[in-house]
Every structure is written in C-alpha cells, then in structure tokens.
Amino acid sequence: MYSLKVNDLCKHYTETLLFKNISFELHPGEVMAVAGWNGSGKSTLLRIIAGLVRPTSGKVEMFFKGESIPKESRRRFVGMVAPAMSLYEELTALENLEFFCKVRGIACDRKSCLEMMERAGLTDNTHKLCRNYSSGMKQRLKLAQALVHRPPLLLLDEPGCNLDSKGMKIVESIISAQRQWGMTVIASNEKREVDYGDRIINLSE
C-alpha cells in the first residue's frame, strides 16, 4: 500500500560532503539498516527521509497506492525516534501521548494510549511527569510516541539508546510488529540493531 523511494540523495554541510548517491526503495514489511561511523550522516539521512532537513540534491518520495504523498504531508506518515528529539518534560507520559494523538487528529481514547504505554513497558509510570523519568524510560516513551499514530514509515535513530535488555526486547517486538505491514529504517552503530535490517547501507564506505 505504502512505499518509499529515495533517489540519488546527496548532503553537503558548507564544504563538507556528508554522503552522496544514496538510492533505495522500501516496501511494506521491509527493514533497512543504515550503518556508519559517527558523523557519517546516519541521523541526517533519517531527518531527510522524515522531511525535517532538505537534501543538497536528490529526492525522497513516499507513495500511497502508487500516488506520491506531498512533502508537507509526508511528515505525518512518519514515526520517528532520535536521541536529539525530546518529549514535553512538563507533561506526564500519558498527557504526552494524548497530546500527540490530538495534534495529529487521531480519534484516540485514553485506553489506546494506555495500551501503547503497556507496549513500551511504562504502565506503572503513566501519571509521572517526564522530567522525573530516567533516560531509559524517556526512550521507551519516545518509542510509544513514534507508534501512537501507527505510522506506515518508522524511522529509528539509535533505538536502543539508554535501554536495558527488557527495553531492547521491546524494540525488537516493535520492529517485528512493523514488519507485518509497515516500513522501517534503523540508523545505528550497534551490530545487534543493524542486524534487524534486511538490507544495509553503510555510509562509511
């Protein structure tokens, strides 16, 4: 139903070339892993795919039933987790999820938000302010936030960041659930996370 086409992407920051000639296609059920040294442009590639950063050249297109989704709408079809992305610390975990449902226009009730929190292993801390969360709990909440609108494209930038072994199992279950119908792109240096990918792009090469 959905597909992603990345065509000849290139990104420069002033004089520095980050990457060039990145092309791939992604279809439902597929997982793409992006590997590379620190500073090789993994996070930037994911931000370009999400529509948060413009590429220097090349094109990212997302299709729904063969029709291209406009760039300005594409962002809302994406669920993204990244170390630099934060949630609202002055809200509770449940308030955060409810806010992202409302702002995305999803008719979501408290029950489905609680289900999502259960999936992320945060059932005992739903009414706790995010500022009082540990870094691992914040990462789990970010995962719940990325999934709350059931996005066809899931972008995971270092998804295991700050997570314990239970948290890593949650990441694993999220990726396998997404495989049932959606697309996933994972950027990481961790072998375990890169191994989730059916295909690998190495930006260090």
Partner 1 sequence: MKSGRWITETGSSTYLSEAVAIWLRDLRGEFRTRYAVNAILMFAVTTLIAVSFSIGSFRIGDAEQPFLYAVLLWIILVFSALSGLSRSFVKEEEAGTMDVLKLSARPQAVFLGKLFFNLTLLGALELIIVPAFITMMNYEIQLPGLFTAMVISGGLGLGAGTTIVAAMIAQASARGALFSVLSFPLLLPLMITAIKGCEKAALGTNNPGWPEVRIAIAYSVVMIVMSLFLFPMIWEE
Binding-site member from 12, 75, 166, 192 for partner 1 (CB under 8 A)? 75
Rounded distance, CA 132 to CA 123, Å? 15
Closest CA to 158 of 87, 80, 93: 80
Residue 137 CB: number of other CB atoms within 10 A? 20
**Per CB under 8 A, does 13 bind partner 1?**
no
**Per CB under 8 A, does 88 bind partner 1?**
yes
CB of 1 to partner 1, least distance (A): 6
For 102-198, where are the E strands, in sequence order? 153-157, 183-187
Quick one: 66 exposed, middle or buried, by C-beta within 10 A (0-12, 13-18, 19+)?
exposed
Give the range of 14-22, 91-99, 165-173, 196-204 binding partner 1 by CB under 8 A.
91-99
Binding-site member from 22, 34, 80, 185 for partner 1 (CB under 8 A)? 80
**Which of positions 48-67 make contact with partner 1 (CB under 8 A)?**
50, 52-54, 64
Binding-site member from 12, 104, 169, 199 for partner 1 (CB under 8 A)? 104
Q: Look at phi and psi of residue 41 and say left if phi exceeds 0, alpha if psi is from -120 to 50, else beta.
A: left
Interacting residue ranges for partner 1, rule: CB under 8 A: 1-2, 28, 47, 50, 52-54, 64, 72, 75-78, 80, 82, 84-91, 95, 99-100, 102-107, 129, 145, 149-152, 177, 180-182
